[in-house]
Amino acid sequence: MRHATLVYRYPVKILLFVGHALGACLLAIIQDVTFTNADVLRGVGQEFYAIVAAVVGGCCSLAAMGSAIGAMFGALVFGIVEEGIVFAGIDANWYKAFIGFNTVARLCCSTVMYANWHGGKTMNTQTAL
């Protein structure tokens, strides 16, 4: 089926899934060669950090808005803060508190901005699904 952008949806979707699988396979091979062993728990819990980096980088949680560049800058901010907290001699547990506070603040700002862009209306979750 063709859309107005003249991009074939299904081949692109399949190529994206294959690209993700190949990227994950390449990352696993690189980690196995680097650490000379396999550990299934090495990436556990990192999903939350990826979502937070995307949200802080500018992705709107209520609509499909945002960019990969913003997610990159969000990850950069978190990396700098994590290293800065360690170098400043502050307890490393404050990093997680910073992430939680920053995420809640960004979600509140995102909600307010979405309502302002759409004339004071909040997102109707029944029509979004």
* Sequence ranges of the domains in the chain: 1-42, 45-128
53-82 pLDDT, tens digit each: 888 787 766 666 777 788 888 888 888 988
Task: Return mean pLDDT, the chain.
Answer: 79
Interatomic CA distance for residues 68 and 70, integer angstroms: 5
Residues 6+ apart with CB under 8 A from 80: none
Query: Alpha-carbon distance 76 to 81, whole Å?
Result: 9
User: 0.85 exceeded by the pTM?
Assistant: no
